[in-house]
Amino acid sequence: MTGTTGRLRRVAAIVGIGLAAAAVLTGTAVAADSGHHGDPPRVKGTPCTASADACVDLANNKAWLIDDGKITRGPVAISHGGQGKETPAGTFHVLWKDKDHKSAEFNDAPMPYSVFFADGGIAFHQGNPNNPSAGCVHLSAADAQAWFAALEVGDEVQVH
C-alpha cells in the first residue's frame, strides 16, 4: 500500500505543478486559498484549512468559527497571550468546556464561557479583546457565548 500511496502523492504533486505552470502560461490566477504541494485548501479569508472548527489568526487578532469549510462567524476581534505568555500555535482539539470557569492560577478570576483546547489551561473565553491574556484567546461576551455554543469536545482548533 505504501508504494501506491507514494505514487499517488507524486502524481498529485506533478498535476499540481502542471496546473500552476498552465496558470502562469495562460495568465490565469491561481486561487489564493488553494493548498500547496498536497496541502488541504484554506478556508477563504482565513489562515486555516477546512478541517478546522475554530480558526485563530494571532498576527491579525482575528478568529472565526467554521463548519464544513464555511465560515459561520467572523472574523471577530480577539486578544491573545502577551510576551512571555504567548498563545501556542498549532492544531489542537477542544479538551473540555466550562461555562462558569474560575482561574485557579489567577485568584479565581472569572473566565466565562471557557472552551479549553491546549495544555496549560489555554482556552477561548470571555475577556477584553483589547487586553493581552496569559495565553488564552479573549473574545467579547457575545462571541464567547457563540464559541461555547458551537464548539464540542474533540472539535479542531487551528491557531496560526
The verdict on 11 and 62 lying in the same domain is no
Q: Which three cell numbers stand for residue 4?
A: 501506491
Encoded amino acid at 69, one letter: G
The model's pLDDT over 140-157, given as tens digits with 9 standing for 90+, comes to 999 999 999 999 999 999
The verdict on 74 and 26 lying in the same domain is no
The verdict on 16 and 78 lying in the same domain is no
The number of distinct structural domains making up the chain is 2
The verdict on 21 and 79 lying in the same domain is no
The model's pLDDT over 53-68, given as tens digits with 9 standing for 90+, comes to 999 999 999 999 999 9
The torsion angle over the Cα atoms of residues 126, 127, 130 and 132, rounded to 10 degrees, is: -120
Question: CATH no. for residue 142?
Answer: 2.40.440.10
The verdict on 83 and 19 lying in the same domain is no
Residue-range definition of the domain harbouring residue 100: 54-159
Q: Is residue 19 part of a domain?
A: yes
